[in-house]
Every structure is written in C-alpha cells, then in structure tokens.
Chains A and B, each alone.
Chain A
C-alpha cells in the first residue's frame, strides 16, 4: 500500500481514537493532499526548513484559525438561519448558546470561544435564585466538557463582580474539568478584591482561571471588544484570527553572525517571509474558500473585516543565548540583565516591524504580534519568550524578567508560573503575586500549582491521569490529551518543576 493510504488505514484502525477523532484526522489528511497556497521559493524554503512554521493549519485554509462570534446577536435577535427566536429566559439563552456553538468553526473544528458568559447571561438572570443559577451553570459546564471536549475552548468572565461569574467560578473549582478553559478579566477599577480572591483561590484548586489585564487589552482593541481564546490569544470580538504563522527565533539566531546582523538583516528578512506566508494563506481563505458566504456573516455574528493575523514568535530564550554566545557573553536569558535587555530589544524590533507592515484582509490592515506558546512537536525550543522549563527563577524574579516584553505582544503572551504546592496553605500569596504581576504590566497572569491533576500544557489544560491512561492505550474522550501525551513525551514538559508546554492544535496524526 502507498504510504499515504497506509497512514489513512492506521487512522481508521487506531485503537485509541474514537470515531469523531478519526474523522477529524482523516479530514486533515484529505485537505493536505491538495497543493499548498502559492508561495515564492524563499518563503517555501523557510517553511520547509521550519524557520517559519504554519502550525500545520492545513494546505487549504477554508476557515479562520480562531472565530470569536458576537453571541449577543443570537441572544438579542435569535437566528433566522437556525430558526431560533430571541430567548427570553435563562434556560432559553443557554439553549441558544448550546446550539450556536455547533455552528462555529475553528482550526480544531471545535469552537475556541464560547463567549463572555457573565455579560451575555446576566440580562436573563433576574428572578433566578442563586441556587438555581448555580445548578444551571453546573449542567451547562458539564455539557460543554462532554460535547466539546477540547481544552482550547475558552470562556470569558469579568471584570465586574457578578452572580454569573461567581456561579461559574464555583462550578469550575468543583468540577475541575479540562474544558472549558476560563479567563477572568481583571480591572482594578471595576473588579472587587473579593472576586479576584475567589479566582486566585480557584487557581490553587485547579490551575484555572487565567487572569487577563483588562485595561491593557481594552486599550489594544476597540469598542466592540475582545475575547481571550484558546491558549491566551487576545482577539477582536465578531472576528478573530484568520491565521497564525510563527518564526522560530532560535533558527533565525543560528543564521546570524551576531546581534547587529540578527537585528539588522536576518530577522527583518524572516519577518518579511512570515508576512508573505500569512498573506498567501489569507488570500486563499478570503478570496477562494467561500468561508465568508455564510449565515455567520449575514446575521452579523462575525464580520469579514475583523479578522486579524497573528504574527507568532517562539524560541526567544534560545535565540538570546545563541547570540550571547556569539558575542562572547555568558549571561543566560531570564537571569542576566544584558541577556534580558537583548530579549527586550528583539521584542521591540519585532513589534516595530509588525506595526509598520500592511497586510491585506487583516483587521486594521495589520497583523498582531504574538508570543506563541508552542505545539506538541516542538523540541529543544522554548515557547514564546518564556524562560526554559525547569530553570525558571522564583515567581517574582520570573515576572520581573519577562514583564518588559509584555507591552509588545498585542495578541497575547503568556508565561506560566509554576507555583509549588506549599501555596495551598497560603493562597493569599498567590493573590498578591497575581496583583503584583498585573500591576507591573503583565498582560496576563497564569499559574500552575504543582500536584494538581489538572495542569496547563503551554496554555491548554490536561489531566495528568488522562495522559497516563492514554499512554496505557485506553484512549481519551478529550482531544487535547493526545497533544498532552505527545508534548509530555517529546519536550520534557513534565520534567518541569510543575509543568507546562505546548500550544494549540493537533497538527496531524502520528502513531
């Protein structure tokens, strides 16, 4: 049998995947039998050498990578296409959302954004007792985890302290599910200390939610707002991200003669090529795929002009350490002031270039810089601008070393702070750390607490017990477990004091 057919056969017969998971991998194989969107020779070579990486989004982009529908549309107007009237009660509103999710595509086929839930549902909560609200949220949460089992699926709450947010935090800590992932928007001028403390106590319990620095994000976007989805990507509501292509800064550094050559010549060259890669993919999506002739656009859930492109980078730590060595300096990234300063210069230079480069089809005609969190097949390269696993300094020094990067990464940057489990006896320390990080300019605060079964692998959540079961060939109903298992085996993330790694999508099927 030909290798391509053999691979398809092995997907079909795989003992650890369920039928739905198999169907998804089969669809990826089919898409990738098509030729890649037209690329010039230089860009194609850079992609081939993996200096650039398209995150294996597929050869024929027929849907945006991330879609963030404005769910308030269906909740206020209903949907003609779905034959739904505007809901009037909380039950009807939740039911509308449950239906809506099944019509929202993404790179994984499962929606990455389930909405800013407290804002969406509060108008339907008058007359609902706290207990009824709690019970309804619990059923809703169970539904999300069981029918849309992917840890990239993300719910948002905050910044106000309200009944729905509180019910969700209570349910989330109680159920400790992988899905949905959760972000609380924190605004010191609006959020109460009490709700932030509930949120950080939840982190101690289950490493969720992630806390977003709302004032900084709000300034980055417009009145229609933003959502935090998937692995901490900040994107426009009623739009999203058409694509995410990333540069491996380590590979770029290996091709440079020194710091000046890196900043002045080699990096700008690959920035240019990455723009060409994104443009080629977006041309296909916008001009050929017919994605935008959809009821989602007709009914106003999304707008064609609100999709940005995420300009990703990763391997900052390795790039800086390589350049330090070339320049005859020994200081390491994350620890040495000179090395850290070099990192900030690289981030600033990237940001300047990305801001200055027009990109057709993109929201505001620009891409947005993103510190990309890695995928399960990355080896010997650290996600985004993070400090390599297992070598991180204490959480305060960690935040201080990375904070100056945060101003540059408009579409998201996440450090995952690994906190030892002694914090369980003193959760106020985590509250302080969170407040400190956000006050110093961190765009987002994310922590894993050691010994929790539920841990974050680069951004998405996995259960360690699921990984163990999967590796024993028992299969998992959760898509991201496969990624977690790959990441754990391939990247040493579980060696990390507590743990972390890898990002997004399940790139392709591997036995």
Chain B
C-alpha cells in the first residue's frame, strides 16, 4: 500500500472521549491484538474479499469486482449488517484516504476541533501514513493549531516510536493486563512491549494517558490492581490513569457473557490508585 494512503474504518468529526477537547478521530482498520473485550471488533481484521457480506446487504451497496469487494457508499444506510456477516472481524466499508483527504476534512471542520486522534484498530500499524499525516498537520499554517494524538495498544517497538513521536503531541496507551498470562488471554499477545512503550512515552513526555480496562475476573484482582499502582508510581509524577469499565456495548463473541464492571468496582480501584499517590485518576462518566 502507498504509505500516504490509509485504510480507514470510520471518521468522526465529534468525539469527546479520544483526547483533550473535541477531536477529529480517524479509526484505522486492522489490529495486531485480538481482544474478546473489543468494542469495535469490526476494526480488527483486514478484508480478504471473501464476499460473505454481499448477500447480507439489503441496500446492495456491496459487490465483487475483479475479485475485490467494492463498496458503494452512497447506497449504504449504515445498518452494519455486513459487519455482523463478516467471518474475520473485518469491515467491507473501509475506504482509502490520502493525507491530503484527511487535511481537507480537518480544514472543513477546523473551528470545531482541538485536534486529530488516530485510533483503530491499532493506529501504529499504519505508521508511515500516521507520521506523514502528523508531519503535514504541523507544517500546515492553518492546521498547525491542532494537536496530534494516537490511541494505541503499545505493541509498537521503540524504533517505531522514535519515528512518530517527534510529530506526535500525545498518546493514549492501553495496558490490558500486568500478568503476562492474563494479557495473553485478553489480547492474544504478551505485554512486554506495551509496558516498555508506556515507559518510553512517559520519559518522552508524550504519555497523555495510561488506560486500564477493568474486566471482572481478569483485571480487577488484587494482584492486577497492586501492579497497576506500582507501575503508575514507578513512572513518576504527572501520570494520568484512566480506568475504563468493561461494558457489553459493541462487544461480540464470548466476552458478551462476561460480567460488566460496576461503578463501585471502578471507584474502589480508583481509590487505591489515589492512595498510592497517583494524582490524576479518571473514571468513566457513564456506565452502560
């Protein structure tokens, strides 16, 4: 793929949960984790043009052309039936955007924006595009007021970070679990790189927020919470921890049968974090 092009699942011009202020959020398609708790599971896979979604589309917006899925956006009524039909957690509605396309969208919405956030999927899988986009935003006389943020699972290695951090203002980083086995069960991968990324980012002054998803039975254990407190303290001053409560919204597959995290559970963990000296602990405004 052309490095200046991105495979995009969705673009939002309004989001107050993806970094400071209102943000243009670009959800990039594809993830290297496979979390059963994912609330956007259709952003994980990359379409292999199997065609299973075509018959699910009542609007006839999907077809196969020369063996590739073709999506007619104008016909789509956003019912998402194709996402449910997809056997590999991919999205046949993805579109390809160039850096200039995104800059155009940002310009059109500029008075409403504090910044741009690349989310996913895992945004850093399209690192060349991400770097080129942020570079272009910083160099644009009109758009340079926008801050550039990444929402990441932290699996990117130090070399990757060294390329993008110079043009990145902040990163929201997820730590899915501290126990390596639990992390593997929740993501399919180990957590060494995520923990290392958190340290790298914090040292660079780019760790805007460390996010921790509280999944009852997995990450609400005394041991996990203690490790979270230790890790947060080890990073030093100025770290902001956001506790997310596992909910069922958007979740498909086995985790739908797992219990949701409750407000008292989250408040309890937040209290422990504060007691351990973390000044900034953010808890959800809403429990659904």
Contact = CB atoms under 8 A, between A and B. Distances in A.
**Chief secondary structure at chain A's binding surface:** helix
Contact of A394 (B14, B23, B113): B14
A432 B285 contact: no
A432 B286 CA distance: 21
A433 B285 contact: no
B286 A422 contact: yes
Interface residues of A, number: 24
B12 interface: yes
B286 A396 contact: no
Contact of A396 (B14, B17, B285): B14
A429 B285 contact: no
Interface in A414-450: 420-426, 428-433, 435-437, 439-440
A443 B277 CA distance: 46
Interface secondary structure of B, over-half rule: loop
Interface residue range, chain B: 10 to 19
Contacts of A437: 112
Output the residue of A421, A424, A426, A439 with the most chain B CB within 10 A.
Answer: A426
A25 to B, nearest CB: 41
B282 A425 contact: yes
Interface string B5-22: 000000011111100111
A426 B113 CA distance: 13
A440 B111 contact: yes
Nearest to A394: B14
B221 interface: no
A76 interface: no
B14 A395 contact: yes
Contacts of B109: 396, 436
A397 interface: yes
B151 to A, nearest CB: 14
Given A396-B109, A433-B14, A433-B112, A425 B285 contact: yes
Given A422-B17, A428-B21, A436 B286 contact: no
Nearest to A450: B286
Given A421-B285, A432-B21, A426 B16 contact: yes
Contact of B112 (A399, A424, A426): A399
| Residue with the highest number of chain B CB atoms closer than 10 Å, among A397, A399, A432 | A432
B179 interface: no
A421 B22 CA distance: 14
B79 to A, nearest CB: 15
B17 A426 contact: yes
Given A421-B286, A428-B20, A436 B111 contact: yes
Contact of B286 (A399, A420, A428): A420
A428 to B, nearest CB: 4
A428 B114 contact: yes
B187 to A, nearest CB: 25
Contacts of B15: 429
Interface of B: 12-17, 20-23, 109, 111-114, 282, 284-286
Interface of A: 394-397, 399, 420-426, 428-433, 435-437, 439-440, 451
